[in-house]
């Protein structure tokens, strides 16, 4: 343990600017198996959730563009 402590003096502290990640859409989260899409509700593309949107606006969670929407 003392040997590992020797290397800690070379570790640099890095300061980063805080940033905000927003939710892309407001709404209700549902089980992916309750969606109307057979590919998604069979989890063929992996685990996930469905969202019933409560608004008609969808935004990128971080600066960028939404290039696909299903």
| Domain ranges within the chain, ordered by starting residue | 24-57
Q: How far is CA 27 from CA 2, 52, 53, 54, in A?
A: 52, 5, 4, 5
Per-residue pLDDT of the chain (70 residues; tens, 9 = 90+): 455 666 666 677 778 788 777 788 899 999 999 999 999 999 999 999 999 999 998 887 777 777 887 7
**What does the longest C-alpha to C-alpha distance in the chain come to?**
58
At 58, phi and psi to the nearest 5?
Answer: -125, 130
pTM: 0.52
């Amino acid at each position: 343990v003392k040997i590992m402590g020797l290397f800690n003096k070379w570790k640099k502290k890095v300061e980063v600017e805080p940033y905000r990640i927003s939710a892309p859409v407001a709404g209700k989260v549902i089980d992916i198996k309750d969606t109307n899409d057979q590919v998604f509700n069979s989890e063929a593309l992996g685990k996930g959730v469905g969202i019933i949107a409560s608004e008609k606006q969808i935004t990128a969670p971080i600066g960028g563009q939404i290039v696909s929407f299903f």
